[in-house]
Amino acid sequence: MSISPSREFEEPLTLSANFLWGGAISANQSEGAYRADGKGLSTVDVIPHGENRLKIKLGLEENLAIDPSAYYPSHEAIDFYHTYKSDIKLMAEMGFKVFRTSIAWTRLFPKGDETKPNQKGIEFYRAVFEECQKYDIEPLVTLCHFDTPMYLVETIGSWRSRKMIDHFVNYAKTCFEAFDGLVKYWLTFNEINILLHSPFSGAGLVFKSGENHDAVKYQAAHHVFVASSRATKLAHEINPDNQIGCMLAGGDFYPETCHPEDVWAALNKDRENLFFIDVQVRGAYPRYTNRLFREKHITLQTDPTDTEMLQHTVDFVSFSYYASRCASRQMTQSSEANVVKSLPNPYLKKSEWGWAIDPLGLRIAMNTLYDRYQKPLFLVENGLGAVDTVGTDGQVQDDDRIDYLRAHIIAMKEAVVDGVELLGYTTWSAIDLVAASTGEMRKRYGFIYVDKDDAGQGTGKRIKKKSFAWYKQVIASHGENLN
């Protein structure tokens, strides 16, 4: 006998009344003004556009001196440091309920290890958050978004040193106190798992000849975990209303075939990424790391207090989703298009940069994360990097972006009906900015076009794209009108 579901079990594709719609940027990809008002150098400030970029991001380049003949995208970016008021006004016009951004550690602590902050930095971010408050926009703030202080890289080896924990906690404490009442939602580290794939970008790691790269990366990860837990504990003590999240570069791995070894390969690639959330949500290392560390010849240096400290876990799980991934027992054709390597998936279309377009993969990823952790989720990055051009009529017709976002919002809503608890959705990005992976401006993500090219040339003029009006309509209808 078959049983048909009755209408009482059917649910409409609706989101909670307090669902947070918005968009995201980061300090290092938008602010520019890399030396203004006492700011110190961060890791992103020594990563140039061009052929040497990848070697530096992988932690394989020891000479990190700034080359006067090279172009460094973060130095100017889109000049959000000076245009934040008009940019936030445009976001408010779209109806943003939340704006995700980050604080540049070296704007508050130029070297990273000072005891007292640079007041100019405090004043800038307070002004940004007050501008958000003016439009009833909730800031969602990342403390460290791929911009570790260079002084700490050069003097103590960045996160390979346990000393980083105290420096980060001092910085976090300063932020929680200085912006108390202005910021409620915090993320400690952006895409924390990227330190495995892009070690210098993710954790300021530069490898020495002959050392075990895996051992260095996982030791750095341990220090990051302890720092994040201490910051989480502190945030809750300073204000119990603070909500602290972790952040993952998300997307499940599919096995290339149903061959058991391909399935096993995909499971292990997923574990490689989910490990970072396992620790931050469950408050302890998963048992599968015992074998992993043994086989990779990793012996973590820990403190007796670490076990207890890790139990100060996050309130929610945030993640980025751009694409699903594909793995096999023989990863011989891995795609170089994305930071996290993946085999090409023949069943999916690709973006201009070779990223798989897979809306159903978002629904799968959301179910994976919620089933595994039973914590509220926050989708804090999702978008399409594409070449956008200004037409002779002065307009930017970005229909591909609208199609991409529409399909992913539908998948996101389906996941909510599946039972996933979702706090909000911030697209990547609110406005065009420097692409973290390639350092390009032509790889555009925003609803707002910025007149800048890959060499930093252009007026910086802002132009509303076609997607601007579309997303405004999406927010106004609470995700119901996606036409």
Residues recognised as catalytic? 381
Instruction: Provide the H-helix boundaries in 304-354.
Output: 306-309
Taken in order 350, 355, 356, 362, the sign of the CA dihedral is: negative
> What contacts 340, CB < 8 A, 6 or more positions away?
193, 194, 197, 249, 251, 273, 325
Distance CA 342, CA 127 (A): 41
The three-state secondary structure class of 450 is strand
| Region at 402 (left for phi over 0; alpha for psi -120 to 50; beta for the rest) | alpha
DSSP state of 253: E
Contact 127, 81 (CB under 8 A): no
b or e along 150-161 (b: 16 or more beta carbons within 10 Å of the residue's beta carbon)? bbbbeebbbbbb
From 287, 407, 405, select the one nearest 21 (Cα to Cα).
Answer: 405
Residue 257: count other Cβ atoms within 10 Å of its Cβ: 11
Tokens 């990823």, located at residue: 365
Question: Are 164 and 223 within 8 A, CB to CB?
Answer: yes
Residue 23: which of 373, 421, 372, 465 has the closest Cα?
465
Going by C-alpha positions, the residue among 58, 220, 246 that lies closest to residue 152 is: 220
Please, are residues 104 and 141 in contact by the beta-carbon 8 Å criterion?
no
N- to C-terminal Cα separation, the chain: 40
Q: Which of 367, 368, 366 is nearest to 378 (CA)?
A: 366
CA pair distance 104, 117, nearest whole angstrom: 12
**Alpha carbon distances (Å) from 369 to 378, 405, 474:** 11, 21, 25
